[in-house]
Amino acid sequence: MCDALSHNSPKNHETIECNCLSHGFRKFEELKEFHPEHCLKMMKLLSTAFKVDEICREREYSLKERLHYHQKHSHPDLLKAKQYLEKLLVEKLIEPNETLGKACKYMIKHWDKLTRFLEVEGAPIHNNDMERGLKIPIRGRNTWLFYKTEYGAMIGGVLTSIIYTCELSGINPFEYLVVLQEYKDQIVKQPNAWLPWNYQATRAQLESALAA
């Protein structure tokens, strides 16, 4: 999963390449004030796939069930979206070299990769989760320059990593950092048992043993 830049494609091995549908969606979202008729229609048609994917997550569908559900409920609107894009360009309803025309040509050129989730089990629909993760160190660059020492910057980076790991694990980072201080002696002896995704079970076992 990547955006459509050519250098993102690996050259030394075969892959099933997917492009981020959110990138395509945002191209129309950014232009909706200038071309509301065309952009809002495209956004409505493309949004169906995101709604369907959310339903699949909520219902905890298997990869095969998710594929079939997308094929049944997402494909019709996505087909209409592609046909509409082609109509805009073929009938010259928009200027092809203007921003909206470029957005339409981008979608058509990469259509197969943008809609890979309609063909391949488990193919992602977007790359939003990874991009959100990458924004954390990017934002950090604005503050890490002002650490007093390299060691302080290293500690800040470690804390940022711990906090984001807690977030991904559904754990309150403040509570986890407090536990690290309270049980530091046990953590030094068995660090693998005190990770964000398993420390609660380890803590419960320890407290149960002490109470016995």
The tens digit of pLDDT for each residue in 112-130 reads 999 999 999 999 999 887 7
Q: What is the mean pLDDT of the chain?
A: 90
The tens digit of pLDDT for each residue in 65-83 reads 999 999 999 999 999 999 9
DSSP string for 49-111: HHHHHHHHHHTT--HHHHHHHHHHHTHHHHHHHHHHHHHHHHTT-S-TTSHHHHHHHHHHHTH
CA dist., res. 146 & res. 156, Å (int): 11
What's the pLDDT at 7?
A: 66
pTM exceeding the 0.85 threshold for the entire prediction: no
Low-confidence stretches of the chain (pLDDT < 50) are: none
Helix, strand, coil tally for the chain in percent (to 5): 70, 0, 30
Written as one letter, the residue type at 128 is N
Cβ atoms 110, 73 nearer than 8 A = no
What's the pLDDT at 130?
A: 75
Tokens coding 176: 């986890």
What's the pLDDT at 48?
A: 97
